[in-house]
Structure 1
Amino acid sequence: MKKKFNSSNDPDAPRFHGWSSLLAFFTGVGSLATLIVQLGFVGQVTPTIHLITLGLAVLFTFEQVLALPDILKRSKKAQRKLWLLVVAVITLALMVVLAVAGWIDGHDHKLSLLAHATVQTIIFVTLFLRGLRHQARLTAVTLRPGWLLMGSFGSVVIVGTLLLKMPLAVTEGNTLTWLDSLFTSTSAVCVTGLVVHNTAEFFTPTGQMILLVLIQFGGLGIMTITFFMAAVLFQGMSLHDRFLLGEMIAEKRLAHVGETLRFILLFTFVTEAIGAIAIYFCLPEDRPTAERIYQSIFHSISAFCNAGFSTLPNGLADEWVKDHGTLQVVITLLAIAGGLGSLVVYDTLHYLRSRIARLFSREVRRPRLRVHTRIVWFMSALLLFGGWPLLYFTEFVIFDGNQNAGPWMTALFKSGAARTSGFNSVDMGEVSNLSIHILAFLMFVGGSPGGTAGGLRTTVVAMAAIYLWNMLRGTGQIVLFHRRLPAEVGPRALGVIVLGIGWLFVNFAILRQIQPENIPDSKLFFELVSAFGTVGLSLNLTPELTSAAKVLILINMFVGRIGLLTLIITVMPLGKKRKLAHPQEDILLV
């Protein structure tokens, strides 16, 4: 009797023979390889690629047909997996139509390329999603959440580096070195925005789409998407999976991890869709509709993920969109929405819904915002509207700075961009020295936990400041909004700030040694803080960095994205509890 293979604990899951699973694996890999060769190396549909794609569609359908009898024997829940067969039949039918019509490169280049790429993508994605049942094997391994987080981001960075090295990812006549490819991929995955080459002029539409996918994966997190697909398409998540994912998405309530996960993806895609529509109507109408749609989608995703990448030659300072204040407002709102954190948005929406329901019925329980939500909203408003007049004063009162859509709009946009969105509406190389220091502070603070922004986080700065204030007043515990916070929150927040300052101090000392001395310290420090805060603002220094400096900057981008505290806790060995209590003795501090 042949041994059957099943990677799932679900009794309703269809049983696949070993050779059938092997066939599915090679079909998926073959589809991905064909897609990469077609879009990254050839750039057209040759007869060979057409035949290979047709063969892959046949194998894909054949493998699904073999599983049909086993699926039909099982429960109605298992029979829902017939969608795999439906997808396979549709892809095969499409390829047969293309073959009969002789629709290869000579018929219609763009449509043929799109049709074949669609078939290859469907085959790969479908088989990849089916393979997500194996994610339980990975997460069952005893690992700290930090290792899984770093491994997932690192894997996407490596894949992005390889994809950006494809010949058709860059414009004709340009060459992307391995280091620059790694730097750009890290910047996209870590949603930073620092670039060594102009995104609009150096990368082709293929290269720009690779960057956009890396930004989306980096903003959401590859493990977030993986767990979501596993939970929706298959048997859900184990308790161990919930714990790991809860650590990654800043959700401590294990029972709410699945609900929070669904909300994160729904909120992300809905907000990005609304943002793209708003940006489309903000763009000038003197260019083709297709280009406006493309620019809208790219900038909406880049803004929400706080990436700062732009497909305009001069970013938002480009002549095509210059002096369009409405566009800058939309970009700022998208960046703020992404940087708030899913927990804050979810809690706020729940609060507003309950308040509205209470207007019609007093039986509805009186809603209350979490302390975390209130702190995030307060700190976000304080930093945004506090930095606004300061930047206006330093740029347009004591210094005659460049403006875009008026001085007040320029100052507001800079204040918002420094909160890790990283877009520029003016030439950053001409910013005043005082503004550089204000922007560096805003970048260092960054966004909020659970969001797409980086930096120390708003809650860390708030808790550290309150803890110090209480220490000076001799108050023991932290009480906010009639709620007592855990005793370890204050020291932990203060520790994060001390670690962050120490990290920047050491890295700046190294950066100063490996970068030529003709570059001012302020530019170097600004670049370092921008990388660590995953902001992406630059005083036009990034292309001038030496190879060693680029390596140091990309390390800071990676550390800033996963969190310095997460890195330290992950790599440090666990401490052992002392069984004996030693005598206490005091020391002098002042």
Structure 2
Amino acid sequence: MNRVLNRMGPPQILVLGFAVLILVGAVLLSLPVASASGTATNFLDALFTATSALCVTGLVVVDTASHWSMFGQIVILLLIQIGGLGIMTFAAFFALLLRKKIGLKERLLLQEALNKLSVSGVVKLVQQILLTTFIIESAGAVILTLRFIKDMPLAKAIKYGIFHSISAFNNAGFDLFGTVTGKFSSLTAYANDPVVSLTVAFLFIIGGLGFSVIVVLTQTRCKKDLNLHAKSVITTSLGLLAFGFTIISIIEWNNPATMGNLSVGSKLLSAFFSSATPRTAGFNTLDTAGLMIPTQFLLILLMFIGASPGSTGGGIKTTTFAAVFYSARATLLGKEEPTAFERRVPRETLDKALAVTFVAFIWVTFVTLILTVSEHADFLTTLFETTSAFGTVGLSLGLTTELSILGKIMITLTMFLGRLGPLTLVFAIAQRRRKCKIRYPEEQLMIG
């Protein structure tokens, strides 16, 4: 086994690690003890749930609160925490606890898992990630528990506070309100509640920034000292959040199925939450199926972009979108090289951004076409479902619970691809990147 692992590169080991954990989670969730009824759960449904939890997506074929027992919910919560922080981060955590040396091979894996440019400082970053995660999740759990005490007994409030804090920070979108406000209701009962809405929203916004950015923000006093990556993540995230908030407010303001009957304050709160959640969070305070078609399409675009590298979210990532924007801006302005914040963006970065966007677009299109045929659903619904799975978001227009066997398999694969990242999976299949020794003559290609 060790010989096989030694021959594998970091991308392959990460893919294998995720696959093994998903299978273990699926087996545990298929046991009778994992269901509230005491009967075994269909393995495909268990596999779908395990994938959704480990890939911190939130799409579910069965209601989390009513279908799963305490044991099943604990398994889901552990998968969410492991999937959000990353397998290698957890492995490094236990190695540090046991005072074992973290070798070069493990450091390379951590570099790949955390999307760092070098192995320098990866162990220290892991320690900072674990400490930051504990502090943020604990704070979120305390705030939510104090709020839920008003609606439920103390023990249940603590359980709900811990579960939803971890689910929110890791951008998972799993909730336990199915037995309180109806199956698959998410946070719709708290659309008017600023404590729950803002706490959950800020938890998944922080989780979606990326651990390296969170660490930089906590250690940098002056915003001018932030590196290009942090500046791109913050500005892109804020820009998309503001754009989504504005458009959703305009379109949904008088929609009776969503915000039409809410007060002005609640409308603004709902618009903010709805703009933030497609960035891979999965929670919703408004009925997603009741949204206007333009709003649903906007959510698709936001879900496709997703969160930031090294975060608990999916999608092509904010920096990928930013890099494509920098490149397009330079071309339109007639500049020789793309620049941002008085820094030049490397050509390799732009090529990688285009590759990620292209592979993601092709996969989402491919799966959408398959679902349109297999599920007999309209194009927008299947596109929404596929993009939600790829962006590891968890929002749905109601198709998830109606998926056929083929549909469940395709969405499961899409969640897996979306969490690992298109290039990680491509490099894992290709085994290694080979440098071409032959350089062909250059020739012009007409564009536009």
Q: What TM-score range do you get, normalising by the shorter chain?
A: over 0.9
* Match among 61, 79, 103 for residue 214 of structure 1: 79
Q: Is the 8 A contact 2:308 2:318 kept in 1?
A: yes
1:361-412 deviation digits (Å, cap 9, x = unpaired): xxxxx97111100110101111112101211111124x33324772111111
1:77-100 deviation digits (Å, cap 9, x = unpaired): xxxxxxxxxxxxxxxxxxxxxxxx
> 2:380 matched to 1:522?
yes
Computing the radius of gyration from Cα coordinates, the structure with the larger value is 1
> 2:372 matched to 1:512?
yes
* Match among 237, 251, 272 for residue 116 of structure 2: 251
Describe how 1:183-332 pairs up with structure 2 within 5 A: 183-313=48-178, 314=182, 315-317=185-187, 319=189, 321=190, 323-332=192-201
Which letter maps to 1:368?
A: D
> 2:341 matched to 1:481?
yes
Q: 1:586 and 1:296, CA in 2 relative to 1: closer, same or farther beyond 3 A?
A: same
CA distance, structure 1, for counterparts of residue 435 and residue 281 of structure 2: 42
Identity %: 35
CA distance, structure 1, for counterparts of residue 150 and residue 331 of structure 2: 58
CA distance, structure 2, for counterparts of residue 262 and residue 413 of structure 1: 31
* Match among 432, 455, 465 for residue 315 of structure 2: 455
Partner of 1:335: 204
* Match among 385, 388, 409 for residue 245 of structure 2: 388
Q: Is the 8 A contact 1:379 1:462 kept in 2?
A: yes
CA shift for structure 1 position 303: 0.1
Q: 1:545 and 1:375, CA in 2 relative to 1: closer, same or farther beyond 3 A?
A: same
Q: 1:317 and 1:385, CA in 2 relative to 1: closer, same or farther beyond 3 A?
A: same
Q: 1:153 and 1:474, CA in 2 relative to 1: closer, same or farther beyond 3 A?
A: same
Q: Is the 8 A contact 2:326 2:339 kept in 1?
A: no
Q: Is the 8 A contact 2:304 2:315 kept in 1?
A: yes
CA shift for structure 1 position 336: 0.8
CA distance, structure 2, for counterparts of residue 390 and residue 322 of structure 1: 18
CA distance, structure 1, for counterparts of residue 337 and residue 307 of structure 2: 26
- TM-score of the pair, normalised by structure 2: 0.93
CA distance, structure 2, for counterparts of residue 417 and residue 178 of structure 1: 29
Q: Is the 8 A contact 1:251 1:260 kept in 2?
A: no
Which letter maps to 1:526?
A: F
> 2:231 matched to 1:371?
no
Partner of 2:220: 351
CA RMSD of aligned residues (A): 2.1
CA distance, structure 1, for counterparts of residue 281 and residue 127 of structure 2: 24
Q: 1:209 and 1:383, CA in 2 relative to 1: closer, same or farther beyond 3 A?
A: same
CA distance, structure 2, for counterparts of residue 391 and residue 138 of structure 1: 54
Which letter maps to 2:415?
A: M
Q: 1:318 and 1:291, CA in 2 relative to 1: closer, same or farther beyond 3 A?
A: farther
CA shift for structure 1 position 504: 1.2
Which letter maps to 1:379?
A: T
Q: Secondary structure at the match of 1:401?
A: coil
Q: Is the 8 A contact 1:317 1:427 kept in 2?
A: no
* Match among 481, 496, 502 for residue 362 of structure 2: 502
Q: Is the 8 A contact 2:25 2:79 kept in 1?
A: yes
Partner of 1:9: none
1:243-278 deviation digits (Å, cap 9, x = unpaired): 221111122232201100111111111110011011
> 2:353 matched to 1:493?
yes
CA shift for structure 1 position 576: 5.0
Partner of 1:53: none
CA distance, structure 1, for counterparts of residue 11 and residue 431 of structure 2: 13
Q: Is the 8 A contact 1:445 1:456 kept in 2?
A: yes
CA distance, structure 1, for counterparts of residue 445 and residue 319 of structure 2: 31
CA shift for structure 1 position 540: 1.5
CA shift for structure 1 position 499: 1.8
Q: 1:583 and 1:249, CA in 2 relative to 1: closer, same or farther beyond 3 A?
A: closer
Q: 1:576 and 1:423, CA in 2 relative to 1: closer, same or farther beyond 3 A?
A: closer
CA shift for structure 1 position 199: 0.8
CA shift for structure 1 position 418: 0.7
CA distance, structure 2, for counterparts of residue 152 and residue 230 of structure 1: 17
Partner of 2:328: 468
Which letter maps to 2:141?
A: A
Tell me which of the two structures has the higher relative contact order, counting C-alpha pairs closer than 8 angstroms and 6 or more residues apart: 2
CA distance, structure 2, for counterparts of residue 515 and residue 186 of structure 1: 20
Which letter maps to 1:515?
A: E
* Match among 528, 543, 558 for residue 401 of structure 2: 543
Q: Is the 8 A contact 2:168 2:281 kept in 1?
A: yes
1:322-350 deviation digits (Å, cap 9, x = unpaired): 52122100000000111111110111111
CA shift for structure 1 position 155: 1.2
CA distance, structure 2, for counterparts of residue 581 and residue 564 of structure 1: 27
Q: Is the 8 A contact 2:323 2:350 kept in 1?
A: yes
Structure 1 residues not aligned, in runs of 5+: 1-134, 356-365
Q: 1:461 and 1:283, CA in 2 relative to 1: closer, same or farther beyond 3 A?
A: same
CA distance, structure 2, for counterparts of residue 279 and residue 205 of structure 1: 20
CA distance, structure 2, for counterparts of residue 138 and residue 330 of structure 1: 47
Which letter maps to 1:393?
A: I
CA distance, structure 2, for counterparts of residue 140 and residue 165 of structure 1: 29
Partner of 2:16: 151
1:216-263 deviation digits (Å, cap 9, x = unpaired): 111112222112321342332112321221111122232201100111
Q: 1:138 and 1:194, CA in 2 relative to 1: closer, same or farther beyond 3 A?
A: farther
> 2:389 matched to 1:534?
no
Which letter maps to 1:443?
A: M
Partner of 1:87: none
CA distance, structure 2, for counterparts of residue 488 and residue 479 of structure 1: 14
Partner of 1:171: 36
CA shift for structure 1 position 472: 2.5
* Match among 538, 548, 554 for residue 412 of structure 2: 554
CA distance, structure 2, for counterparts of residue 401 and residue 151 of structure 1: 44
CA distance, structure 2, for counterparts of residue 510 and residue 167 of structure 1: 33
Q: Is the 8 A contact 1:308 1:421 kept in 2?
A: yes
CA distance, structure 2, for counterparts of residue 266 and residue 423 of structure 1: 25
Q: 1:242 and 1:280, CA in 2 relative to 1: closer, same or farther beyond 3 A?
A: same
Which letter maps to 1:400?
A: P
Partner of 1:48: none
Q: 1:415 and 1:587, CA in 2 relative to 1: closer, same or farther beyond 3 A?
A: closer
Q: 1:587 and 1:334, CA in 2 relative to 1: closer, same or farther beyond 3 A?
A: closer
Describe how 1:53-68 pairs up with structure 2 within 5 A: none
> 2:282 matched to 1:400?
no
- TM-score of the pair, normalised by structure 1: 0.71
> 2:437 matched to 1:568?
no
